[in-house]
Amino acid sequence: MGYVRTAGMSTAARRARRRAALVITGLLLALLVVFAVAMAFVQGWISMPGGDGDAAATSAVSAPPPALTAAEVSVNVYNAGGIPGAAGRAGEALRERGFSVATVANDPEEADVPGPAVVRHGPKGVEEAELLLAELPDSVELVDDGRDTATVDLVLGQSWEDLPPVGGADAGEEG
């Protein structure tokens, strides 16, 4: 009675069964990790390193949102594109969005803006400029002109198109 067999299996068979169970468990865990990483990538929680196509998006996401409201931003709207009435329409659209529009006129600096628009600001008006930029088309650029105040200038260019109504396309279809 010195040697007892366990459930009729040899030691080698038990080791093989244990090894198979560990391999299957390891493969299932690896598959679960791959699935979790794939879901995180699809959801946008992580991105591929060196992805140059989303460089602008990742830099915009990493910046903290402005702590201001639109009513606290003083905006001068200037027309540099020569489109009659563009500054007036843009100023009214910004007022509808809650911005404080101070001046609506032709650009006193007579800047040449070949694109849709630029937002001029100084070091004190960076947050104000970013808040305004969020309401404008994607191709509008920020320009630091070194001014000492927090006011910002929206300078409309040659390819400026009027901002849509505050409610979007649905606002015109109501009523």
Domain shared by 39 and 98, yes or no:
no
- CATH number assigned to the domain comprising residue 115: 3.30.70
Identify the pLDDT of residue 171. 43
Give φ, ψ of 45 to 5 degrees: -75, -30
Judgement on whether residues 103 and 44 belong to the same structural domain of the protein: no
131 falls within a domain: yes
* Domain count for the chain: 2
- Average pLDDT value for residue range 62-80: 76
Q: Is residue 119 located within the same domain as residue 46? A: no
Does the pLDDT value for residue 157 go beyond 60? yes
Tokens 């390819």 found at: 159
User: What confidence score (pLDDT) does residue 30 get?
Assistant: 97
45: domain range? 8-52
Enter the tokens of residue 162.
Answer: 């009027």
- 77 and 159 in a single domain? The answer is yes
Residues 87 and 164 in one domain: yes
* Angstrom distance (rounded) from CA 125 to CA 137: 19
Q: Which residues contact 151 (CB under 8 A, 6 or more apart)?
A: 74, 75, 76, 102, 125, 128
**Residue 52 pLDDT > 80:** no
As a whole number of angstroms, the distance between CA 150 and CA 131 comes to 12
To the question of pTM greater than 0.75 for the whole model, the response is no
Pair (79, 31) in one structural domain? no
144, 121 contact by CB (below 8 A): yes
